[in-house]
Amino acid sequence: MNVSSILIATAIVAAIGLLIGLFLGIAGIKFKVETDPREEEILANLPGNNCGGCGYPGCSGLAAAIVAGEAPVSGCPVGGSAVASKVAAIMGEEAADTERMVAFVKCNGNCEKANTDYDYVGTKDCRMAQFAPGGGPKSCNAGCMGYGSCVSACPFDAIHVISGIAVVDKEKCKACGKCIAVCPKHLIELIPYSASYAVACNSHEKGPVVMKACQAGCVGCMLCQKNCPAEAVSVTDALASIDQEACKGCGICAEKCPKKCIINI
């Protein structure tokens, strides 16, 4: 191959590269998607955890949704009212007061109080253990199995298994909802950070069945409901529940509960 052939080939390749570059440059300008500058401002004020607790794919997804009017300025559960105020200012809105929420595990059946039907030797994961006979080794099929699927899911190290049941550190919890989504027993719910008492049981079984399975289970005796001066406690389908908005935090329900399944949090 002579020198002229090499030069011609080089020139052709260079020309093709130049044309492709020009084409891509023009296409980039022509098809450029304009981004609302408020998105970047909002994104800069979001925590950046990308936990998905807002229901959108990361913080950038939430920022875009807020600008598009598809999500409220208080859409970030991790940032709370402080972040909501900053985002509202960017959007030219007024942020409504939002109460901080935290996760709560509705089970008090630890290793000392709850009975088991057999020794489980399978994968130590609640999602896998639920497929074992009886929905897991615990006699109470509605109780926490304690294998820590929620612990693995929490991006804030706010939940740990203590004495066989998951316990939430309310100071670390950001209410992202990851633990709620992963719990196969649907034991975890969000309650106000300011809540004083909550029912640590999730079983709707009748009293005799509950007592055979766990010493700390709600037996539906209704003493809590009958003695609550604020009428904040009700018993439905053999399980007590507390209306946190009506609750005055007096603690009478916890005192009257014979199984001590209403706990101070």
pLDDT in tens, 194-206: 999 999 999 999 9
Domain spanning 101-264 has what CATH number?
A: 3.30.70.20
Long-range contacts of 155-161 (CB under 8 A, 24+ apart): 155/49, 155/51, 156/49, 158/103, 159/103, 159/105
Same fold: 37-91 with 101-264? no
Q: pLDDT by residue (tens digit) across 110-160?
A: 999 999 999 999 899 999 999 999 899 999 999 999 999 999 999 999 999
Q: Which residue has the higher pLDDT, 12 or 121?
A: 121
Task: Give me the residue spans of the domains in the chain.
Answer: 37-91, 101-264
Residues 259 and 208: their CA atoms lie apart, in Å, by: 13
pLDDT at 236: 96
CATH superfamily of 37-91: Electron transport complex subunit B, putative Fe-S cluster (1.10.15.40)
> Do residues 115 and 213 touch, judged by C-beta distance below 8 A?
yes
Global pTM? Answer: 0.78
Q: Mutual orientation of helices 37-45 and 80-91 as an angle, nearest 10°?
A: 160
